[in-house]
């Protein structure tokens, strides 16, 4: 949903009502990403929960710093005012691919452990 929301936001950004609705929707969805990431990492690192939690927090901090920088680079290169939204779409797509690849690896590892 988050990835779809970014694409739709880019398409309807010129309509104020839908812009506000989608900004709120994206905000609610994005708010859940942090707790989901931490839960996933703690589950995967059950043998070292403190280290797993610190890595999850570091990943969130890197994302909080890199997102605005990459969005600003999109604006600076002249891609237009929607550049940050498209950057968010690409970053979300990359994260989704990584999540799918690691899910497969974690499932395989769990099956081998049993």
pLDDT in tens, 50-92: 999 999 999 999 999 999 999 999 999 998 999 999 999 999 9
- pLDDT reported for residue 43: 85
Note down the domain range covering 62: 2-113
pTM over 0.85: no
- pLDDT reported for residue 80: 93
Q: Is the pLDDT of residue 113 over 80?
A: no
DSSP string, 33-57: HHHHHHHHHHHHTTT-HHHHHHHHH
- pLDDT reported for residue 52: 93
Nearest CA to 88 out of 36, 32, 35, 23 is that of: 23
Domain count, the chain: 1
The tokens describing 5, both together, are 């929301």
């Amino acid at each position: 949903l988050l990835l779809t929301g970014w694409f739709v936001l880019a398409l309807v950004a010129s309509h104020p009502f839908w812009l506000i609705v989608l900004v709120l929707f994206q905000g609610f969805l994005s708010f859940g990403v942090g707790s989901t990431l931490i839960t996933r990492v703690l589950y995967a690192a059950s043998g070292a929960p403190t280290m797993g939690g610190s890595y999850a927090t570091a990943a969130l901090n890197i994302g909080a710093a890199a997102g605005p920088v990459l969005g600003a680079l999109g604006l600076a290169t002249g891609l237009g005012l929607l550049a940050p939204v498209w950057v968010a779409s690409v970053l979300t797509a990359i994260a989704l691919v990584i999540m799918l690849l690691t899910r497969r690896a974690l499932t395989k590892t769990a099956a081998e452990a049993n």
